[in-house]
Amino acid sequence: MNFRAMSESKIEFIWDTVVTQIEGDRLVKQLMLKNTENAKISTLELAGIFIAIGSEPNSAQWWGLLPSDQGGYVITNELMEVKISRIFTGDIHHNSVKQAITAAGDGATAAISAGRFLSF
């Protein structure tokens, strides 16, 4: 939890809620929201949004099978290759900066590395 953000009066936190729709023509105008506790639907008018999916890796199915750090991130080399031969990862690797642009780059690196491996 970012406590600095929580102390900012210009930021409103809406807990237990998911976005069901983003509305607007060329610009975002409002969000349709659904409360996950009581299913109540509401709208939130705004001028822009930042979308994030979280900062924890979705790697639980690999725990114990692949080398990983305490946070669940898979340990790879710079080519996104796991120490176990023929396994490559993308954005779930150790030291990921958790940004969309680097996730795309990490995925591309893994794909190129796997392609090079297969061509030998």
Domains in the chain: boundaries? 3-45, 60-118
What is the predicted pLDDT for the residue at 60?
A: 80
| pLDDT digit string, tens, across residues 61-109 | 878 888 988 888 899 999 999 987 788 988 888 888 878 788 889 889 9
The 3-state DSSP class for residue 24 equals coil
- The mean pLDDT of 32-47, rounded to a whole number, is 94
- The mean pLDDT of 44-70, rounded to a whole number, is 79
Spatial CA neighbour of 14 closest among 34, 29, 28, 30: 34
The model's pTM: 0.54
More confidently predicted of 54 and 13: 13
The 3-state DSSP class for residue 79 equals coil
Q: What is 60-118's CATH superfamily? A: FAD/NAD(P)-binding domain (3.50.50.60)
The rounded distance, in Å, linking the Cα atoms of 107 and 85 is: 17
